[in-house]
């Protein structure tokens, strides 16, 4: 099971820092990659955007990869 949570609740406004957290219960532990749409944007369990702007709007998801294969999380949408 793999899911994304966004730190901070409520509306995201320009200039905010936003942290996306990918939780994966895969065993053995997986490598985590982040995608905005189809574009790879980072790796690691946490993806941080500082000083967010409307350019960052879009759908984000994380993918966990281990020797058993790859799993995508549901996408989360950022609207700035």
pLDDT digits (tens, 9 = 90+) for 23-70: 988 778 889 999 999 999 999 999 999 999 999 999 999 999 998 899
Q: How confident is the model at residue 9 (pLDDT cuts 50, 70, 90)?
A: low
pTM of the predicted model, to two decimals? 0.87
Per-residue three-class SS string for 3-47: EEEECCCCCCCCCCCEEEEEEECCCCCCEEEEEECCEEEEECCEE
Cβ atoms of residues 41 and 25 within 8 Å? no
- Give residue 21's pLDDT: 95
């Amino acid at each position: 099971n793999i899911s994304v949570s966004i730190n901070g609740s409520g509306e995201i406004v320009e200039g905010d820092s936003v942290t996306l957290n990918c939780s994966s219960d895969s065993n053995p532990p997986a490598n985590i990659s982040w995608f905005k749409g189809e574009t790879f944007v980072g790796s690691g369990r946490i993806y941080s955007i500082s000083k967010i702007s409307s350019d960052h709007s879009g759908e984000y998801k994380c993918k966990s990869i281990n020797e058993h294969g790859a799993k995508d999380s549901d996408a989360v949408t950022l609207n700035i």
